[in-house]
Amino acid sequence: MSCYYRQYEDTTVTIPKYSVESSAGITYYDIKVRVGNVDWFVERRYRDFAQLHDKLVEDISISKKLLPPKKLVGNKQPAFLEQRREQLETYLQELLIYFRNELPRTLAEFLDFNKYDIIYLLQDLAKLFHESGDALLSAKKEYSFSALEIYAISERLTLPCPPSNEQGGKFDFSHVLDFSTQLESLVVTPVKDNATFVQDYNTVDVPIGRSNIIPNRLSFNLNAFRNVRTLKFSALSTENIVDIELLKPTLQTICVHNTTITHINQVLLCDNLHKNCDVPSLLPDPAASNSEDALLNTDAWNELTELDLTGNLLTQIDGSVRTAPKLRRLILEQNRIRTIQNLAELPHLQLLSLSGNLIADCVDWHLCMGNLVTLKLAQNKIKSISGLRKLLSLVNLDLSCNLIEELDEVDNVANLPLLETLCLTGNPLAGSVDYRPRVLARFHERAAEISLDNEPGTQQELDTALVLSALLKSKQRQQNK
């Protein structure tokens, strides 16, 4: 992202070429703006130049003769257009020398500085929040920023550039900060209002507009958002955050979707350089001295209760989840996880969703999680659920679209005392004759309390289940003898 305020001496404007649109016969001049390492292109026709010039003459009274004059006849000839390209280039260069370190808004907008430059982009944002910030906040305490905007805010805080009071102060940076400090839910995407970015995370290296700015390479801090409770990143890695320390004590929900992150530590330890070191246990340890406790707590997410990392490339649940000891909901849908680890130190965990992963076995899961209420394992590769037989607190279990074949597998969860909903649809077993009554029969006298595949058993099914259950019991008794 460009910073004209700092680099106006290293700024050039050129018009490398023009192009004639054949159908309408309009000539466009392709303007290249370069500020330091950042450059971008803007397409403008002569009419736009004339409009800009009129405004500048009116507002700032620059010389009227500066712009090359209009030509009515023969204005399509290549030689003429080439000459005009040169003249317009000179015109822009003269304007830039004339205005030096502060561009007037009209010129900044003409050259798209308000799309790519820190100061001018924030002026746009300030104007928006000045006019409708309060309305936005009262309607919904959530707002979506582009990576570029977040970067601009974070950089702007270190610029020795005073808030401007120009034009009644509507471009004043304090409006932006005023808004951001009140925001409760912050959404960050690579580009604003662009649905394709959210869909496809291979586009993360695509530059913004016609510039060479790549959203995924902008690093920023979130110090301006000190009251945020919910943080949502979409198609943008949280590793772009260089400092999140201020938000750690208060943040309650983190959602990261559609990125290429492979480890949870890229989220929970996003500003930590030593991600791969083993994270020490954060559970209260009576043996530990007080000073050590305080040290650990500064790294902890003490209020974080929900972590939603749906749609990434996670391969495992790494030790960094221990930094969020109060986690209640952990949603890891649509990833590439094969096994669960490190959940033993999350005593508050109530919901775990691992739908759409690559889990094939679940061995003794009751040793890892004690208080789980809802477990979602849809669309995995599970054949046997014997490892779930002692998850005694479980109320809701979703096993749809797995590879369970044997009816006997149901016995593993049939004796869970609190179970109320069970989903088995999409498994090979669900295709068998009398599937529903036969599954319900396994619950014996609790059959009526169970909702199977989102509906409770009908009277007919329950009657059949009762008969089957009696048969099963007598069979068992015989075996015991």
Partner 1 sequence: MDVKLHKMRGVVNKLYERIDYLIENCPNMTAAPYNYNYIFKYIIIGDMGVGKSCLLHQFTEKKFMANCPHTIGVEFGTRIIEVDDKKIKLQIWDTAGQERFRAVTRSYYRGAAGALMVYDITRRSTYNHLSSWLTDTRNLTNPSTVIFLIGNKSDLESTREVTYEEAKEFADENGLMFLEASAMTGQNVEEAFLETARKIYQNIQEGRLDLNASESGVQHRPSQPSRPSLSSEATHAKDQCSC
Instruction: Count CA atoms closer than 13 A to 27's CA, side-chain side.
Output: 18
Nearer to partner 1 by Cβ, of 48 and 243: the residue is 243
Tokens of 411: 């016995």
Q: How far is the CB of 165 from partner 1 (least distance, A)?
A: 4
289 vs 253: CA distance, rounded Å: 30
Q: How far is the CB of 223 from partner 1 (least distance, A)?
A: 6
Q: Which position among 74, 162, 284, 417 is part of the footprint of partner 1 (CB under 8 A)?
A: 162
| Residue type present at position 239 | E
CA angle 110, 112, 114 (to 5 degrees): 110
Helices and strands in the chain: count of H runs, count of E runs: 15, 17
CA 307 to chain centre: 12
Q: Does 174 bind partner 1 (CB under 8 A)?
A: yes
Contacts made by residues 406-409, CB under 8 angstroms, sequence distance 24+: 407/432, 407/438, 407/439, 407/442, 409/384, 409/385
Q: Which stretch binds partner 1 (CB under 8 A): 220-228, 312-320, 326-334, 384-392?
A: 220-228
Nearer to partner 1 by Cβ, of 230 and 393: the residue is 230
Q: How far is the CB of 177 from partner 1 (least distance, A)?
A: 4
Tokens of 99: 């205005």
Going edge to edge, which strands form the sheet with 11-21? 11-21, 26-35, 38-45
Q: Would you put residue 235 in left (φ > 0), alpha (ψ -120 to 50) or beta?
A: left
Measured between its terminal Cα atoms, the distance across the chain in Å is 80
Q: How far is the CB of 122 from partner 1 (least distance, A)?
A: 13
427 vs 406: CA distance, rounded Å: 10
Q: Which position among 94, 142, 243, 411 is part of the footprint of partner 1 (CB under 8 A)?
A: 243
Q: How far is the CB of 159 from partner 1 (least distance, A)?
A: 7
Q: Does 87 bind partner 1 (CB under 8 A)?
A: no
Nearer to partner 1 by Cβ, of 271 and 411: the residue is 271
Considering only residues 269-298, where is the footprint of partner 1 by CB under 8 A? 298
Nearer to partner 1 by Cβ, of 182 and 421: the residue is 182
SS3 143: strand
**Contact string (CB under 8 A) for partner 1, positions 411-450, x = contact:** ----------------------------------------
Q: Does 169 bind partner 1 (CB under 8 A)?
A: yes
Q: Does 160 bind partner 1 (CB under 8 A)?
A: yes
Q: How far is the CB of 427 from partner 1 (least distance, A)?
A: 51
237 vs 142: CA distance, rounded Å: 20
Q: Which position among 58, 200, 245, 292 is part of the footprint of partner 1 (CB under 8 A)?
A: 245
Q: Which position among 87, 203, 223, 451 is part of the footprint of partner 1 (CB under 8 A)?
A: 223
What DSSP state is assigned to residue 70?
A: P
All residues at 6 or more sequence positions from 104 whose CB lies less than 8 Å from its CB, including other chains: 56, 59, 60
Nearer to partner 1 by Cβ, of 223 and 316: the residue is 223
Nearer to partner 1 by Cβ, of 174 and 458: the residue is 174
Nearer to partner 1 by Cβ, of 59 and 134: the residue is 134
Nearer to partner 1 by Cβ, of 89 and 178: the residue is 178
Nearer to partner 1 by Cβ, of 19 and 298: the residue is 298
Tokens of 211: 């510039």
Tokens of 293: 């406790």
Tokens of 149: 């905007």
Q: How far is the CB of 171 from partner 1 (least distance, A)?
A: 12
Q: Which position among 82, 134, 408, 434 is part of the footprint of partner 1 (CB under 8 A)?
A: 134
Q: Does 460 bind partner 1 (CB under 8 A)?
A: no
Q: How many CB atoms lie within 10 A of CB 278?
A: 9
Chain contacts with partner 1 (rule: CB under 8 A): 134-135, 138, 157-163, 165, 169, 174, 177-178, 181-182, 221, 223-224, 226, 243, 245-246, 298
